[in-house]
Structure 1
Amino acid sequence: MRVIAELVHPALVTRSGRVLRRRAARAIVQRGRALLLMYTARYDDYSFPGGGIADGEDPVAALRRELAEETGASRIRVLHAYGTIEEYRPDRSPDHDLMHMTSHFYTCAIDAELGQTRLEHYEQANGMRPVWIDVDAAIAHNRAVLQRADARMGLSIHRETYMLEHVAAELDPPADGR
Structure 2
Amino acid sequence: MRLLAHLTHHSIESLGNQQDLKVLKREAARGIVLREEKILLMYTSRYDDFSFPGGGLDAGEDPQLGLRRELHEEAGAHDIDIIAPFGKVTEHQPTWKADWDMMFQTSYWYHCKLNQPLVANQLEHYEVSNGMSVEWVALDEAIRHNHQVMQRRPDSMGISIGRETLVMERVASELLTGNGEKRGQPPREREASL
**TM bin (shorter chain):** over 0.9
In 1, Cα distance between equivalents of 2:68 and 2:96: 29
Contact 1:88 1:100 (C-alpha < 8 Å) held by counterparts = yes
Q: Does 1:37 align with 2:41?
A: yes
In 1, Cα distance between equivalents of 2:17 and 2:63: 25
Q: What does 1:82-97 align with in structure 2 at a 5 Å threshold?
A: 82-97=86-101
Three-state SS of the structure 2 residue aligned to 1:11 is helix
Displacement of 1:61 in angstroms is 0.6
In 2, Cα distance between equivalents of 1:94 and 1:74: 35
In 2, Cα distance between equivalents of 1:24 and 1:172: 24
Three-state SS of the structure 1 residue aligned to 2:10 is coil
Moved more, 89-98 or 36-45: 89-98
Tell me the equivalent position of 2:2.
2
Gaps of 5+ in 2: 180-194
* RMSD of equivalent CA atoms: 1.3
Contact 2:80 2:114 (C-alpha < 8 Å) held by counterparts = yes
Tell me the equivalent position of 1:130.
134
Tell me the equivalent position of 2:71.
67
2:153 to 149, 156, 164: 149
- Post-superposition, which runs of at least 4 consecutive aligned residues in structure 1 deviate over 4 A? none
Summarize deviations over 1:37-82 as a string: whole Å, max 9, x none.
0000110100000011111111111000000111111211111111
Aligned-residue sequence identity (percent) comes to 47
Displacement of 1:112 in angstroms is 4.7
Measured at CA, do residues 31 and 83 of structure 1 come closer, stay the same or move farther in structure 2, by a change above 3 Å? same
Tell me the equivalent position of 2:11.
11
Contact 2:42 2:132 (C-alpha < 8 Å) held by counterparts = yes
Moved more, 66-75 or 6-15: 6-15
In 1, Cα distance between equivalents of 2:164 and 2:91: 11
| TM-score between the two structures when normalised by the length of structure 1 | 0.94
Which residue identity lines up with residue 30 of structure 2 in the other structure? R
Contact 1:79 1:108 (C-alpha < 8 Å) held by counterparts = yes
| TM-score between the two structures when normalised by the length of structure 2 | 0.86
Tell me the equivalent position of 1:76.
80
Aligned residue pairs: how many? 175
1:116 to 116, 120, 123: 120
Moved more, 11-20 or 83-92: 11-20
Contact 1:15 1:98 (C-alpha < 8 Å) held by counterparts = no
Q: What does 1:45-64 align with in structure 2 at a 5 Å threshold?
A: 45-64=49-68
Gaps of 5+ in 1: none
Displacement of 1:15 in angstroms is 5.5
